[in-house]
Amino acid sequence: MRIALVDNSRGWGGAEQILFSLATGLRSRGHHVGLFLSEGSETVDKFVQGGFLTWAIPRKGVGTVRGIVKMIRIARSEKFDLIHLHRNHDLLVGKIVSYFAGKLPLLLTQHCLLGNTSFSVMNLADRIATVSKFIAEGIVERIPRLHRKLLVVHNGVDTDKFEHLRDDYWKGRHELAGRGPLLGVVGYFYKNQEELIEILPRIRAVYPDMMLIIMGQDDSKMDYLKKRVTECGVADSVFFAGNIEHSEMPRALAGIDLNISAFRREGFGLSVIEGMAAGTPFVGYRAGGYEEIVTQGENGYLVESQDEFVEIIIELLGDKERLNSLGGRAKGVVRQRFSVDRMLTHYETVYADLLKENNSPMEGS
């Protein structure tokens, strides 16, 4: 198949990492893949470095019209079979391009909870793949008429990259010398990291040398989180690690004892399955997409209250054998249910169904 992937994001997060894994996997399976990305974005550089056929498209002001014309021209010349969008903000542009490039099927992957996008816009997609049932249910609750177009395709990771990992990633950091156990959290700072900071005094009362490693960078909330660290009196128990290269993330996650989150509206939880693939169990609230990943007591724990959250963390940190057992089972869950191969096969099936319905000829395998 000849597949055009579209993403207008300017930054790099979980959705972009999944897009990169999807493009890599499709290419390795013999499909022709091209990417339309936002001009001047970080995504352009990373996909070009990955050797992908990439076009930087202007998406601001009058440049938007020029960008649409460019996309139509390229889509025609590349003879794409379908267009796969990764942001609902791209739906109008995607529909125009798909129409003038030969009425190509249009697939949208919805990576996060739906905002204020209307039915008329969302209905432009021929199919809407959500990365969790949680997101799909949110869409149906808001726009019931879309239920016929929805399907769930869980994200996946390349489990081979998480094999035979060393767990000493953090041992070289002088800020962490002699400290432990290590708790870790990954993500932009809107994900309620402040609650994790606020519960640290209770955990530190049992484990005085414990550390919370906050992975990620978000200048808009950094000052606020640092203020909370000071106010809670835990400045010597929190380490802001900044952004970690994705190639290093497996070792970073393997090097912590527990992967935790206090966020209650996570669309899926890519860092959760990455942690599990590295053998690190997860603890979070029973909310969002976590319930589709975590089986209680098998690969982690989900809790209802903050008190329960603190209690299970303290309990697990005191039982290394139990942690190791959870971690081993977590790796198995990811291999069985959340592998990148499983995700790729699911998308290939969706593509084939769309093309069949559209009566479009398929080129290649």
pLDDT of residue 246: 87
Mean pLDDT for 205-231 is 95
* pLDDT per residue as tens digits for the range 187-196: 999 999 999 9
Band of the pLDDT at 360, cuts 50, 70, 90? very low
What is the share, in percent, of the chain residues with pLDDT greater than 90? 87
For the packed helices 14-28 and 270-277, what is the interaxial angle rounded to 10 degrees? 60
* Domains of the chain, each with CATH number or no CATH: 2-156+340-358 (3.40.50.2000), 160-337 (3.40.50.2000)
In this predicted structure, the answer to whether residue 364 has a pLDDT above a threshold of 60 is no
Note the Cα 202 to chain centre separation in Å.
Answer: 30
- Give yes or no for a contact between 15 and 35, defined as CB atoms under 8 angstroms apart: no
Read off the pLDDT of each residue in 296-310 and give the average, rounded to a whole number: 97
Place of tokens 């930054």: 11
User: Strand 82-85 to strand 150-152: parallel, antiparallel, or no bridges (unpaired)?
Assistant: unpaired
* Cα angle value 129/349/134 (rounded, 5°): 25
Report the pLDDT averaged over residues 87-109.
96
